[in-house]
Each structure stands twice: as C-alpha cells, then as structure tokens.
Structure 1
Amino acid sequence: MTLDVLRVFCGPDGRHGNELGVVRDGARTPAREDRQAFAAKLGFSETVFVDDPERGVIDIYTPTLRLPFAGHPCVGTAWLLDVPELVTPAGVVQARQDGEFSWITAYARWAPPRTLRRYGTAAEVDALAVPPPGEWIYAWAWEDEAAGRVRARAFPGRDDGITEDEATGAAALLLTHELGRALNITQGRGSQLLTAPGPDGEIEVGGRVRGWHPSPTD
C-alpha cells in the first residue's frame, strides 16, 4: 500500500489541521477487516481507502468503525485526487478547489449523530476538560455572532485513543444546518473550517489542506 498523510482544515498560518491517512491503491486491500485493522494501526481519526481514483470512489474508517461519510476525509481526499466529486456510501459528494481552499458539498443528514452543546463564551469552550467516553460532543460558542465566527472543540467519546478531534467537518455540517448560516469555525488548537448553506439542504464545507510525500507501508 502507498499512504499519503494530510492535514485537513489547517489554520491561516498553515499549522494545525486534522491528520488524515489516504491509501490511494485501496483496491489492493479489498477486505473490510484488513482495512479496519490498518486504520487502527495508523491511529488517525480517519483513514480513507481509494477504490477508484478516477471516479473518486472512497471508503472511510476510524480506528474502530467504518463510516458512510465524514467531512475532513472528503475534503482532504478531494484535494489529493483533484476530482470534481467523490462517491461515498452516503452519496455523491461534489468537490471544488478555490484558491487555497478545498470545498465539498454534502448534507447534514449524512453526518453521524453528534450532540451540539452550546456554551456562553469561547473561554468556557477553551477551558473544557475531555469528558469520559460516551456521547459524541461538539462543544461550541460564538466568538463573534454577527460575523459568524465560532469557537469549537470536538470530543468523539470513543475508547480508541482519539479523545479530542482537531477538526470535524461532519459536526460543522450539523451546526451550520442548525443555525442556518455561513460559519467561520476555529476548532481544536487552531484549525479553521468554513461553511456555507446552499439550496435544497446542501452545505459547503471548506478548508486548507497540506500534505506529505506518499510513502510505502506494509
């Protein structure tokens, strides 16, 4: 297998972002149990297996489960493959590049369930301790409501070593759907996610992607 490691939703200075593993020759590892084992070995919040790079057919795994859709894997893989769309089990994800930003179009109904928990101030979100495993919590507060600026942190609540998710596109989809407006989200240590609602329930999610050279792996 050949593995690309990306950082998705980097901050304006190019730092931070959520790490993502992308196996471009995923068709060489067709068995789900082998893919799951490899994702667990890598330990990233998500790993993508590309089954057809020309058509953009992908398969997404956390260290413990398979996902029909996830935001930062789709943004990162669309940037890496430079394709106009991705085919996921949830549906076809439209993709585009706009300057330094990579964008996808998806629907909130595709996102796995999350608890959106609002706090009064960004400082309260900053001060949160990681909760024990349980529900998936997206903690957020307005930094500047008029400007649509949000401070957020994400706690997956899983017992797989990922105690806090640095940047979470699916949760940004859900929050955008709930608030019904474009958002500029600062998540984790300094990652940036941009969103914009569109017609018929569509929501765009975008961010900066940085990558490393691919490397062979067992």
Structure 2
Amino acid sequence: MPDVLRLAAFTDTPEGGNPAGVVLDASALTDAQMQAIAADVGYSETAFITDPRAHTVRYFSPAAEVPFCGHATIATAVALAERDGPGEVTLATQAGPVAVATQADDDGNLTATLTSVAPHVEHATDLDAALGALGWIHEDLDPDLPPRVAYAGARHLILAARTRDRLAALDYAFEKLKGYMSARDLTTVDLVHRDATDPTTFHARNPFPVGGVVEDPATGAAAAAFGAYLRDLDIVTPPARVTIHQGHDMGRPSLLHVDLDPGRATGVRVTGRAVRIGA
C-alpha cells in the first residue's frame, strides 16, 4: 500500500471542503490497484501521479476513473508544494495539460490555482429525464440561467434553481440519475443558485452517482465548467471573479473562486486552499 496523503480542498479547515487522496508516486501501481486504493480511501476522488517526472496524474473515484478532477488537482498541487515548495507545474491529465500554481501566505498557508483546458458549452438533451430523476419540475428552474452541458476537462449538466430552498432540498433517485448521466458521459450534475445580493456569487451542489458518491462538497471541475457557462452565455462579463459556496448543506462548507478572462476558448482559473486531514 503506497503512502496516501489525505487533504481537504477548497477549505482552510479539515472539517470543511472536499477530501481527496493523493499518491505522489504511483509509478508502480496498476490500474486495478489504483481503483482498489481509491475505493478503500472512500473519498470522491484520489489522485495518482503515475509519472513523477512528467507530472502525469490520473483520478479515480471509488467506482471509476474520471478524466479530470478539480478538487483533487488542488489537493495534489498543495501536496507537491508542501514537498517541493510553492511554484508552478503543469499536470498531464487525460483531459489535457492543466497548469497549477501554488503560493504561500505569511503564515505558510498554501493556496492553489488551476487553469482548465479549453472549455466549451452545449445544449442539454432530454431535460425531462434529468428533472424527473432529481424530483424537480420546470418551474423549479431559474429562467435567467438556462440548462446547458459545460466542459472544462469533464462534462457537467448545469441546472439553476429558482430558489435557495429548492437547492437545499436535494433528494434524488440515485440509480435513475446515474443511468441518465452515464448515457451522456456526465461527471456530475452542477446544481446552482445565484445569490440574491450579488450577481457573481453562487451556491452549488453536485450529485455524483456515476462515481459512487451521493454528492460532492466541492467540485473544482464543475466550477471551471460553470465559469465557462457564465462567460459563454454572457451572464458574467470578463474579466471577472465568481465566488461559489458549496458543501454548506452537507455540513462541509467550501469556498471556490473562479476567474474568467475574455475569450470563450480561454481556460478558466479555479482557486482554493487545501489542508491536511488528520495532520
């Protein structure tokens, strides 16, 4: 069993954020071994650096491999910075190269920023099936934020709730939503609500049944995709910073910052802290 580091991403406390496993040298592990370790760790994802020289990284949920995972990337970047010092590195992911930069504040606390691969946004299909699995109806949706599928390393269905109460009341049909997502190569469903006091602040929840997880408390890949969605639909005008609060309804509050530059093909930057669990 290799050394598995455990970090909580998008938080400054081990009790918040999204836990991730990180294996800094998985060069001797097979696919089956990595999958077994991810299942044993039990977090929504564990990142494995399979080629330390090239910084090749693969991500496994308890149930399957995913092409890209934002919170595990943030955790990996912080783990590398703890070992090697802050700086910049490019991770070779199955989705493509992902640049990450880490910096430390005066107290030594580390923050990481990832820059996604080139994103794109497309229309969602069979929306009634998705709403049925979630137990939502069309009237639950915010008409100012239309449903879309967005990609920034992984595909996410974006649905905006009209009210914060609708977002808070998450109770979906696990196998039904899993089947819908698997058929459309979706990694999570990104459920969002725009804060009434600030048009660049959002609340989010991310069901992740295809990974064997009911819900993610912080989803960096979905945050990047959502940033591309906001820019593509001219909901937010870049340059801009978007703030996403996630995990509060689960008791694991998370904070994600999304920075948008002009140009629809420009990578989206996602920033957050990560701290050791059990350190």
TM-score bin (small chain): 0.7 to 0.9
- For residue 58 of structure 1, what is the amino acid of its counterpart? V
Aligned to 2:166, which of 124, 134, 139?
124
Q: 1:41 to 1:14 in 2, by over 3 A?
A: closer
Q: Equivalent residue of 2:4, what SS? A: strand
Q: Equivalent residue of 2:102, what SS? A: strand
Listed one character per residue, the Cα deviations across residues 103-144 of structure 1 (whole Å, up to 9, x for unaligned) are 010133443222111011223212222442323321111114
Structure 1 unmatched runs, 5+: none
Shift of 1:159: 6.9
Distance in 2, matches of 1:120 and 1:203, equals: 25
Preserved CA contact (<8 Å) 1:137 1:157? no
Residue in 2 that maps onto 1:196: 259
Aligned to 2:209, which of 152, 157, 172?
157
Matched, 1:184 2:243: yes
Distance in 1, matches of 2:229 and 2:273, equals: 24
Shift of 1:213: 6.8
Preserved CA contact (<8 Å) 2:14 2:277? no
Preserved CA contact (<8 Å) 1:53 1:81? no
Preserved CA contact (<8 Å) 1:154 1:166? yes
Bigger-Rg structure (1/2): 2
Residue in 1 that maps onto 2:194: 142
Query: Going by fraction, where is strand more abundant, 1 or 2?
Result: 1
Preserved CA contact (<8 Å) 1:51 1:57? yes
Listed one character per residue, the Cα deviations across residues 164-192 of structure 1 (whole Å, up to 9, x for unaligned) are 11100111111111111431000112111
Alignment of 1:33-112 (within 5 A): 33-82=32-81, 83-98=88-103, 99=105, 100-107=110-117, 108=119, 109-112=151-154
Q: Equivalent residue of 2:215, what SS? A: coil
Shift of 1:96: 1.1
Alignment of 1:22-41 (within 5 A): 22-29=22-29, 31-41=30-40
Preserved CA contact (<8 Å) 2:200 2:242? yes
Q: 1:5 to 1:14 in 2, by over 3 A?
A: closer
Q: Equivalent residue of 2:269, what SS? A: strand
- For residue 52 of structure 2, what is the amino acid of its counterpart? P
Distance in 2, matches of 1:36 and 1:127, equals: 32
Give the TM-score, by structure 2 length.
Answer: 0.69
Question: How well do the aligned residues superpose, as a CA RMSD in angstroms?
Answer: 2.2
Distance in 2, matches of 1:172 and 1:40, equals: 24
Aligned residue pairs total 211
- For residue 112 of structure 1, what is the amino acid of its counterpart? A
- For residue 51 of structure 1, what is the amino acid of its counterpart? T
Q: 1:26 to 1:213 in 2, by over 3 A?
A: farther
Q: Equivalent residue of 1:84, what SS? A: strand
Q: Equivalent residue of 2:210, what SS? A: coil
Q: Equivalent residue of 1:63, what SS? A: coil
Structure 2 unmatched runs, 5+: 82-87, 120-150, 182-187
Give the TM-score, by structure 1 length.
Answer: 0.87
Distance in 2, matches of 1:146 and 1:5, equals: 34
Matched, 1:19 2:19: yes
Identity %: 26
